[in-house]
Structure 1
Amino acid sequence: MLRFFRAEGASESTSSQLVLRHAGETIVVALRRSRAARRYTLRVRFAARDAVLTMPQRGSLRDARAFAERHAAWIATRLRRLPEAIPFAPGAVAPLRGVDHVLTHRPQARGVVWTEPLAASETLLESSDGPQFALCVTGSVEHMHRRVCDFLKREARHDLEAAVARHSQTLGLPARSVGLRDPVSRWGSCSATGSLNFSWRLIMAPPFVLDYLAAHEVAHLVHLDHSPRFWALTRSLSSDVDHAEAWLTRQGAQLHKFGANA
């Protein structure tokens, strides 16, 4: 199961919070005890827009607080540098299958949400390498966010179900179900009973990334681990393993800046 940051968190951990004060700011740090941790570590998570301190299972809260306070300036700086969230609102630009689209409000038009090329007059206003497509939304502007979310989730379900079916057919082993979620630490997961779950935000990534993630989780139907046999099977299903992993490492977390409160 893929994580946005490979070193982030660990299984079998418990969580609480530390509240710090630094230069007049209040900083909330999620605290996780992990059986695998051997030292105190800090991460600022782009997706959750928060800080996480991971500590050994038997570490003391006093030491955890002292460690966080010594690094409070670093945490505050990293949090301030996080890119601003981009809401699904008129004029915003968001990707669909890896292609940027301008969100366009069409209150009087028929339909709900659809895509179309930008009109010639609109295209001229963009730079030559700017968006060339529009994601059009009807109805009241206050409903635009929800309608865009619903549209993206429908498209994600369509693409993921098709990809899972294709890879499952290759193995002759169907998935029990395909679900959509919005996790901050995984792109996909496979349960011991064969239920697959994916981040709906994958619909914003290029198609080869979504297809790879589907192959990755389908391979878990056979090997519920990340052993060499698992990776060999995944590579037999997808020729884009390395390409997709590299894209996710560079740009994956960026998908969480789109659609505030989605």
Structure 2
Amino acid sequence: MTESVPLRASPGAGPVSCQVRWQRSTRARRVSLRIDPRAGEVVITLPPRAGRKQGMALLTTHAAWVTERLGALAPAVPFVEGSSVPLGGVPHPIRHDPAARAGVFLQDGQIVVSGEAAFLPRRVADFLRAEARRRIAILAAHHAAALEVKPAAIRLKDTRSRWGSCAPDGTLAFSWRLVMAPDWVLDYVVAHEVAHLRELNHSARFWAHVTARTPHRQAAQDWLRRFGPTLLRVG
């Protein structure tokens, strides 16, 4: 359940409305609170025996932190005509052209979407996922050949905290949102996960492989820490 809840960051401040999503978990041992940057909501998780009153008490106690974090979120960027969506770190305005040839395509630095306006958000999302899959596959093949490894499979996800992962069976998973990051950031994440096919750990040997493949490792890590959350606000 999601509801709007007024919060006061300080005793003298006026109320600020925020969206709160309540969820119950049989695995939770205590009431917890977090910010969902993608939805722009506060998420309160209740264990089986906890009630809404306990959740509200936690929310009130951390009101200043919650309002600060929500205020720091980047503006949401919906998939609608006129929105500017980054692709490879470069802003691309969305243009709706009902009479254009079928599908979604790039033209003059724009993402052109044909067909009915009602289908535009889904078509843009599908286009970005397909583009992410194409670019990641090329990079993964390149780094895998250099490291003499081969992924078992490559999957796309929409994670909120991890940009990539490598499973013990050799399956690599990536957030499709990385296609919006600069090319060299995407290259680093792909090289990082491919290197795990050689070293499924974060040992010195692993980092040596990563550094050899991506000399821009530190810059990419810094970019993700600083700007990564903005990618969650798109779509």
Shorter-chain TM range is 0.7 to 0.9
The answer (yes or no) to whether the contact 2:20–2:43 under 8 Å persists in 1 is no
Q: Which secondary structure state, in structure 1, belongs to the residue aligned with residue 155 of structure 2?
A: strand
Change (3 A) 1:242 1:116: same
The residue type paired with residue 232 of structure 1 is A
Give the alignment's TM-score, normalised by structure 2.
0.80
Structure 2 match to 1:97: 88
**Counterpart selection for 1:192 from 146, 161, 168:** 168
- Asked if structure 2 preserves the Cα contact closer than 8 Å seen for 1:87 and 1:258, the reply is yes
Identify which of 128, 131, 146 aligns with 2:122: 146
- What SS does the corresponding residue of 1:178 show, helix, strand or coil? strand
Q: Given the alignment of the two structures, is residue 156 of structure 1 paired with residue 147 of structure 2, yes or no?
A: no
Shift of 1:45: 4.2
Give 1:194 deviation, angstroms: 0.4
1:146 Cα shift? 1.0
Report 1:57-68 matches (<5 A).
65=55, 66-68=57-59
Q: CA deviation at 1:49?
A: 2.8
1:85 aligned partner? 76
Give per-residue Cα distances to partners, 1:139-187, cap 9 Å, x unaligned. Answer: 0011111111111111111110111111111111100001111111110
Residue deviations 1:2-35, cap 9 Å, x none? xxxxxxxxxxxxxxx9x99544856347799899
Pairs aligned (count) = 222
Q: What do the CA deviations read for 1:117-159 (whole angstroms, capped 9, x no partner)? A: 2xxxxxxxxxxxxxxx211110001111111111111111111
Seen in structure 2, the aligned counterparts of structure 1 residues 186 and 134 have a Cα distance that, compared at 3 Å, is same
Please say if 1:27 is aligned against 2:3. no
How far did 1:78 drift? 3.0
The one-character-per-residue Cα deviations of 1:186-205 (angstroms, maximum 9, x if unpaired) are: 10110010000001111111
Aligned CA distance change for structure 1 residues 171 and 151 (closer, same or farther; 3 Å): same
Say if 1:178 and 1:196, in contact at 8 Å, map to a contact too: yes
CA distance in 1, matches of 2:221, 2:41: 24
| 2:94 counterpart letter in structure 1 | L
Q: CA 1:251–1:103 in structure 2 vs 1: closer, same or farther (change >3 Å)?
A: same
Match of 1:4 in 2: none
Secondary structure (helix, strand or coil) at the match of 2:231 reads helix
2:211 is aligned with 1:235: yes
Query: Hey, what does 1:11 align to over in structure 2?
Result: none
Correspondence 1:206 to 2:182:
yes
Contact 2:20–2:44 (CA under 8 A) maintained in structure 1 = no
5+ unaligned residues in a row in structure 1: which ranges? 1-16, 55-59, 118-132
Name the CA distance, whole Å, in 2 between partners of 1:152 and 1:224: 29
CA shift, 1:229, in A, is 2.2
Question: What is the Cα deviation at residue 237 of structure 1?
Answer: 1.4
Instruction: Supply the AA of the counterpart residue of 2:97.
Output: R
Alpha carbons of structure 1 residues 99 and 108: separation in structure 2 relative to 1, 3 Å: same
Deviation, structure 1 residue 238 = 1.1
Q: Distance in 2 between matches of 1:21 and 1:253?
A: 24
Distance 1:98 1:211, change over 3 A: same
Residues 77/95 of structure 1: CA separation in 2 closer, same or farther (3 Å cut): same
Matched to 2:38, the amino acid is A
Residues 48 and 141 (structure 1), Cα distance of their counterparts in 2 relative to 1, 3 Å cut? closer
Q: Distance in 1 between matches of 2:70 and 2:130?
A: 32
Q: Identify which of structures 1 and 2 has the higher relative contact order when contacts are C-alpha pairs closer than 8 Å and 6+ apart.
A: 1
Query: Does the 8 Å contact 1:91/1:104 carry over to 2?
Result: yes
Q: Deviations over 1:68-123 (max 9, x none)?
A: 43113431453355333211111111111111111000101113111122xxxxxx
Q: Mark the CA change 1:246 to 1:185 in structure 2 (over 3 Å): closer, same or farther.
A: same
